[in-house]
């Protein structure tokens, strides 16, 4: 199979983790006889530095002419600390989601037994945790009208949803639930927000077409608590843009680290794959970031290409590193491995289709603080 992949490494640790994903894709290509043609493009702060625009037209063109987009991360402290900046890296990602019409963001929350001890949540609560967040990605408060009064003393962010925007993601979420445990939870704030009441009405209507799926409705404040108290109750979680952003970071603590979680953003004309973490500027260039979120995003990309065996090989290799302690600093502050080493180990595991052999700690760049 030949595929064109747009690669947008972005800022901070984005390029480092994306490089590991490319190693992994190359290993998949070598083992399974595929060819992946990478087209690199800039986005975020690096794009502002180079062109003045966080999403240059050339980047959009490359994305529109590819089979999938591999995205790293965006963000730079020089903008975070300057609320008056009118051009910001995040605008690049938001505009990209909008122009590619990536209205559904899928964030699987898996936990690994070998890492249960790392989660601040008790291991008992983590048993059987396996759910997927369907976050609406191109509507709501993120994209509503933004205003500030002339005197700067008041500001507004509008939250709007149309029935159509809710319907299209809701169908995808129900179809996904049918391939899993047939359960869907809508998270909203229908006791307060008009948009949430519209979400409930639309979801209730659509639910009649999926009668084998059990639906429940949960207010977002309660959901924030339930994700910690009893996360195993969830299967498919459906929610609007802003709530999805917040609860997916929260849910990542179940896995043990934000660095582990992948995501896929899909629509009718494009698909983008990115780890859920940010650009983590403090770690940039140090070869310490966790590449697993990006690498598991590649597994989701391979699923999207219907390369099931290939996706399995990637997940299997990633899990092998976690189980065997080949983990980055966010997972183990004492015994850890470099970003690039973890990428090499996973690529090697895939290509040889057998467990990589470990020769010495030195050659693995193992950092041991004793
Ligand atoms: C995410 C991120 C983005 C978002 C930021 C970087 C704009 O937090 O993908 O979850 O808020 O959607
Ligand atoms: Mg977020």
Q: What was the pLDDT predicted at 367?
A: 57
| CB-ligand 1 contact for 90 (6 Å cutoff) | yes
C-alpha distances (whole Å) from 214 to each of 160, 175, 222, 242, 244 are: 27, 12, 19, 24, 20
What's phi and psi for 162, nearest 5 deg? -100, 160
Instruction: Compute the average pLDDT of residues 130-141.
Output: 98
Question: Could you tell me the pTM of the whole model?
Answer: 0.93
Residue ranges covered by each domain of the chain: 1-103+260-370, 120-255
Any catalytic annotation for residue 11?
no
C-alpha distances (whole Å) from 160 to each of 11, 104, 166, 186, 220 are: 30, 16, 11, 17, 18
Provide the angle, in degrees to the nearest 10, between the axes of the packed helices 339-352 and 308-323.
Answer: 130
Residues 6+ apart with CB under 8 A from 179: none
Taking only the tens place, the pLDDT of each residue in 95-133 is 999 999 999 999 999 999 889 988 899 999 999 999 999
Q: Are the beta carbons of 19 and 83 closer than 8 angstroms?
A: no
1-103+260-370 and 120-255: identical CATH topology: yes
Q: Are the beta carbons of 254 and 225 closer than 8 angstroms?
A: no
Any catalytic annotation for residue 183?
no
245 Cα nearest atom in ligand 1: 10
Among 104, 137, 108, which residue's Cα sits nearest to residue 251?
A: 108
Taking only the tens place, the pLDDT of each residue in 216-269 is 999 999 999 999 999 999 999 999 999 999 999 999 999 989 999 999 999 998
Gyration radius of the chain over CA positions: 21
Least distant ligand from the CA of 102? 1
Residue nearest to atom 10 of ligand 1 (CA): 245
Least distant ligand from the CA of 241? 1
Q: Which CATH class for the 1-103+260-370 domain? A: alpha beta
| CB-ligand 1 contact for 102 (6 Å cutoff) | no
Ligand 1: which of 240, 278, 279, 294 to mutate, judged by most atoms within 8 Å of the beta carbon?
A: 278
Q: What was the pLDDT predicted at 347?
A: 98
144: left (phi over 0), alpha (psi -120 to 50) or beta: beta
The three-state secondary structure class of 68 is strand
Q: Which CATH class for the 120-255 domain? A: alpha beta
First to last CA, the chain: 48
Q: Rounded distance, CA 152 to CA 135, Å? A: 32
Q: Are the beta carbons of 297 and 275 closer than 8 angstroms?
A: yes
Residue nearest to atom 7 of ligand 1 (CA): 90
C-alpha distances (whole Å) from 307 to each of 10, 33, 297, 344 are: 26, 12, 14, 22
Taking only the tens place, the pLDDT of each residue in 291-346 is 999 999 999 999 999 999 999 999 999 999 999 999 999 999 999 999 999 999 99
Q: In what order do the strands lie in the sheet with 68-73?
A: 35-40, 2-10, 68-73, 271-275, 262-266, 104-110, 130-136, 236-239, 183-188, 214-219
């Amino acid at each position: 199979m030949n595929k064109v992949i747009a690669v947008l490494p972005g800022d901070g640790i984005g390029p480092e983790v994306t490089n590991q994903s490319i190693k992994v894709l190359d290993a998949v290509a070598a083992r399974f006889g595929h060819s992946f043609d990478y087209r690199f493009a800039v986005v975020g702060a690096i794009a502002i530095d180079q062109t003045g625009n966080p999403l240059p037209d050339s980047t959009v063109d490359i994305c529109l002419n590819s089979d999938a987009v591999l995205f790293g991360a965006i963000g730079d402290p020089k903008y975070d600390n300057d609320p008056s900046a009118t051009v910001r890296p995040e605008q690049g990602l938001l505009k990209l989601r909008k122009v590619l019409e990536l209205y559904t963001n899928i964030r699987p929350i898996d936990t690994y037994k070998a890492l249960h001890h790392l989660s601040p949540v008790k291991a008992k609560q983590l048993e059987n945790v396996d759910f997927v967040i369907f976050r609406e990605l191109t509507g709501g408060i993120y994209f509503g009208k933004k205003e500030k009064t002339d005197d700067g003393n008041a500001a507004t962010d509008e939250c709007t949803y149309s029935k159509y925007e809710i319907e299209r993601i809701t169908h995808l979420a129900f179809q996904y639930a049918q391939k899993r445990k047939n359960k869907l939870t809508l998270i909203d704030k229908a006791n307060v927000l008009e948009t949430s009441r519209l979400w409930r009405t639309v979801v209730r209507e659509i639910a009649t077409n999926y009668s084998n799926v059990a639906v429940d409705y949960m207010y977002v404040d309660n959901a924030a608590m339930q994700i910690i108290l009893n996360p195993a109750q969830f299967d498919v979680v459906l929610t609007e843009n802003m709530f999805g952003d917040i609860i997916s970071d929260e849910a990542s603590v179940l896995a043990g680290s934000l660095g582990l979680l992948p995501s896929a953003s899909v629509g009718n004309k494009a698909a983008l794959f990115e780890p859920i973490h940010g650009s983590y500027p403090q770690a940039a260039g140090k070869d310490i970031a966790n590449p697993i979120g990006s690498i598991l995003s590649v597994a989701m990309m391979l699923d999207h290409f219907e390369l099931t065996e290939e996706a399995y090989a990637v997940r299997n290799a990633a899990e092998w590193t976690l189980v065997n302690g080949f983990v980055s600093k966010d997972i183990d502050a004492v015994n850890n491995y470099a970003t690039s080493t973890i990428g090499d180990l996973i690529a090697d595991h895939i290509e040889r289709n057998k467990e990589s052999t470990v020769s010495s700690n030195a050659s693995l760049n193992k950092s041991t603080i004793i």
